[in-house]
Structure 1
Amino acid sequence: MRHPVVMGNWKLNGSKEMVTNLLTGLDAALAGVEGVDVAVAPPVMYLDLAQRLISQGNSNIILGAQNVDVNASGAYTGDISPEMLKDFGASHIIIGHSERREYHHESDEFVAQKFAFLKEHGLTPVLCIGESEAQNEAGETVAVCARQLDAVIKTQGVEALNGAIIAYEPIWAIGTGKAATAQQAQEIHAAIRAHIASFSAEVAKNVVIQYGGSVKAGNAAELFAMPDIDGALVGGAALDAEGFAAIAKAAAEAKK
């Protein structure tokens, strides 16, 4: 049975005080919560502090990161390697986020390279896929998601998705306050799973597919009640300990 994963993408937000308060508050709010994996992806600058805070006590929070390079070392100013992330305890690495694709012109092929490099180094890729508002209105949602997935499947084999996480994030719903209805999200998740199943039913059955895009405590339970939605990749709401914990609790409750 698939295990839900709720991950907070902190994006370009943070300070030492904020990281300390957020992780301390989140750890307290999640006390006793079982049945869901909870991860956070702070800016890379704060990985050391986050690792130290998480390692205190009995925290079950998983440490992640927001990006990775496709080189292990060398003359690549400003880039971060998988081994560097591992050195600070990060295991779940977000790649292919629409903001990276748009602002940094990352192609499907480049994202697939990152996916392969993370797997090679024993890290968990959190592969973001999703369509723009124009693509959604043109009825191209499933085709866009399939193309982004196929960049991995057709170069690495569908089995490469084993142990990875897919995050479906409609771009028009990220940070806009708009969100797909639970039924709309379920239909796309089911279509994504069906596309994977066209290569391997076993991989499709087991792969975790999160939903992202204005997920909040108020709509989380309805989303997680859907059979093909396995948790969430959360943006703004992940910056509030109580609100983010409520989302995680909703995922745990829905999958009992």
Structure 2
Amino acid sequence: MPEPAPLFSLITVTLNNRAGLQSTRASVESQVFNNFEWIIIDGGSTDGTQEDLATTNANWTSEQDTGLYDAMNKGLTKAKGTYLLFLNAGDRLAAPTTLEKIAAHTEKQPDFIYGDALETTRSSSPSLQGGGRGRVSDAPLETKPAKPFYKQAGRYKDLPSGMFTHHQAMLYKRSKISETNQHYSLIYPIAADYDFTARFLKKCEKIAYFPHPICIFESGGLSQQNAFDGRREQYLIREKLEMVSQPENVWIFLTQTLKWQLRKTFPFLYRFAKSAKRK
């Protein structure tokens, strides 16, 4: 008799980010809730990651892929859980009780669950490589994590204006994904998560907001390093999916660009404005 499917599938992709994966592992293994599976897709790391993988209880594979979203698609194929959460190497669950608390939000079987996030920055950070999976350069560098910034999720109905929370703070019901064999589109190297979420939400009937942080996310990843390309891809996605009118699409693109410049030039002012908006 086959074992019942787990409630959650945590999917982690990584490439030569041994330290980041160790951080994620500590977070996953600290969970007091154990009805989940952990899937790790490694892109063929050569930094000792594979030796660590052999000591985990995760369902893992290590082979070359074409990039971040190709690896995430491999994770989708392996997943058996009712809900899928992508937690890449270096990302962490917000607390040991995070999955336990989210489980309580699944009683009404929502199609999609999203929550808040904690975002960290580093006073200095190594150059990132490896398609957004946190591959770091070999140069030694002292880093000191800054105090996490609480990032409350926006409204999911505001998706046309951009992602309303971090991708690592979203849980997708696997049965809804399977209905159309949905995958991440590889034609969007930066914003495939935006495209995936937009297409997925069109199928959703029940959406639940989890009013707590789900993940601890370190800023400076693929989408932030390639911000302009990400905004351009989002523009094309909105156009393709007919999410807004053409004038609205142009306005959203310009507004996103101005917000990005504000955040880059005056980060503290940007965060103050975000905090004031929550109040």
Q: Which has the higher helix share?
A: 1
Fold shared per TM-score above 0.5: no
- Which gives a bigger RCO, structure 1 or 2 (Cα 8 Å, sep 6+)? 1
Report the TM-score when normalising by structure 1.
0.27
Q: Which has the higher strand share?
A: 2
